[in-house]
Structure 1
Amino acid sequence: MKMIDITQASATLAEYTSNLTEEPVIITNDGQPVAALVTLENVDMETISLSTNPKFIALIEHSRARRRSEGGISSSQMRQRLGLNEV
């Protein structure tokens, strides 16, 4: 993973993005990561939007905690309840 301090980031954005297929570029400020340039190959915008949405992340975490504490049903059972055929 390539790391560059924001004060030393003198290359153009195009130069940094040309290497993203190999590894992400982490931009730091005083040694602390503040941003990342990553390839979006095989990633859709909805995934990016949801994965960075704090409300969505909280919803997922709440659902996972509830499943751990209360249990759940298998995907097979869910398909049966919904009247869907097995895949």
Structure 2
Amino acid sequence: MPKRLTLTEAQQQMLDLPAELTNEPIIITKDGQPVMAAMSYEHLTSLLETLEILSDTEFAEKLRESMAQADRGETISWEDAQKQLGQ
């Protein structure tokens, strides 16, 4: 579960927050309700890249089908895949 800080706590700890954002975002609250999240720049860029990839509907459908095939055990060895690709 992400760490939660009040706006006041986040303000007081602003200089220390980057060191705490390495693993997961921090939820910042006001009057007990979440109002924003702080995350590392690396986490943000990774999230944006993932969203961009998944917004490609054709790719997302192929990914879902591939995951379903793997769940059904319909896989091949790395060596066989290389042979099929001519490598």
Q: TM-score, normalised by structure 2?
A: 0.49
Between Structure 1 and Structure 2, the one with more helix by share is 2
